[in-house]
Amino acid sequence: MTTELTGLTAQELVDGYRKGEFGPVDATRAVLARIEETEPALNAFVRIDAAGALAEAEASTRRWRRGEPQGLVDGVPVTVKDILLQRGAPTLRGSKSSRTDGTWTQDAPSVARLREHGAVFVGKTTTPEFGWKGVTDSPLSGVTRNPYDTSRTSGGSSGGSAAAVAVGAGPLSLGTDGGGSVRIPAAFCGIFGLKPTYGRVPLYPASAFGTLAHVGPMTRSAADAALMMDVISGPDPRDWSGLAPAPGSFLDGLSGGVRGLRVAFSPSLGGQVAVRPDVAARVRDAVSRLAGLGAYVEEVDPDFSDPVEAFHTLWFSGAARVTQQLSASQKELLDPGLKEICARGARYSALDYLAAVDARMELGRRMGAFHSTYEVLITPSLPITAFEAGAEVPRGSGLRRWTGWTPFTYPFNLTQQPAASVPVGRDRDGLPVGLQVVAARHADALVLRVAHALYEAGVAGTEPVALG
């Protein structure tokens, strides 16, 4: 029963609770046992609250017995990336510079919505320091590893969340994505990850990385992500840039398939990206399946060159801002790579920053025009599969920063578009491959519907994995 429960989706857990086949305490105990089994090898958690989770599960069990569930995910075990505030739990953001003596009285908006719907909070997951890079290691918590091969990285910066979901340590997790930080680890760990349209999921406190930073669900299916979006996308007055309520249920919007959908497939962004053959093949196979399901697929590239310099200006400036108030002694504790980009970010002028904003707006204009013809853009999530753990870039690649191997992800943080990574198979080494689905701003439901069609067709899928 324990193994079976950790393999269930959130929807399957709720269905089981409703039918009385098992209860939230059973599911929570199963997840805690799975964490105990996998955590020494993975290092996906910075905090585990077994006692608190069981108390929440017992309260949920009483509600279900009365036939009065509190919400859509009552009794479902969830995890939270340690960037987001959670009441009663320290939020250390992967940094030794963070204070541990706070009162921790507030939930981030997404955490608050999950709590209102009865979720069971199991623990907080690892992040690189302040979420600054595309892999998950930090001076505070060390290296988080990939469940498919523990010598490899889980990706980042939501790597702890991705690894936890992949091994069955809770079916739902909250991640953040400022340049790919939900989609990168989702691709490396073989799970589903959605970066919603900016503002669709409220954020508080505001990120130092500004409007690049999104909050999104990390799950084992597109349907579970839609369920989670129905919970976490409600407005919150603390986020001045949050959007109005979604027009309908994301879960209800999954049906309809892809027949007649205009899909652009860009395998390499017009030859700008060198994609490994195994990755290219798995993604192309999945796109062919979409065509077989009735989508109109055309191999065509969006009209933009690599916007990495604009992204760096905004990202490095944000990093400098997030560490600006630290003392000299605190700054000595920082990840060396973070210190480097902070120093670079502090040298940018206001005019440099505004020039990057101009480049961002032009990219958004181009993508807006592109989506007037094509409803969906498909690319690989990443050009590679997971590389060695503890490194920012693959050994021998000649790359300097994590943005060198994530050219498919950060452009769509600049444009604020919804984008998801869907697991579409493995490479010859057994490592997961991700396909990215991108749509116009506010078309989150469409991204989820396309991804769900791939799951329904058997192209996409995630099962809890034994450690590799």
Residues marked as catalytic: 81, 157, 181
- Count, residues in the chain: 468
CB atoms within 10 A of CB 248: 10
Task: Let me know if 195 is exposed, middle or buried by CB neighbors in 10 A (0-12, 13-18, 19+).
Answer: buried
75 touches 151 (CB < 8 A): no
Return d(Cα 330, Cα 333) in angstroms, integer. 5
Q: At 268, list the tokens.
A: 């390499």
- Bridge partner list, 263: 297, 376
* Distance of alpha carbon 416 from alpha carbon 216, whole angstroms: 13
Q: How far apart are CA 79 and CA 82, in angstroms?
A: 9
* Residues 6+ away with beta carbon under 8 Å from 399: 393, 405
* Cα distance between residue 401 and residue 403, in whole Å: 5
Q: What is the DSSP string of 147-166?
A: TTEEEEE--SSSHHHHHHHH
DSSP string, 165-196: HHHTS-SEEEEEESSSTTHHHHHHHT-EEEEP
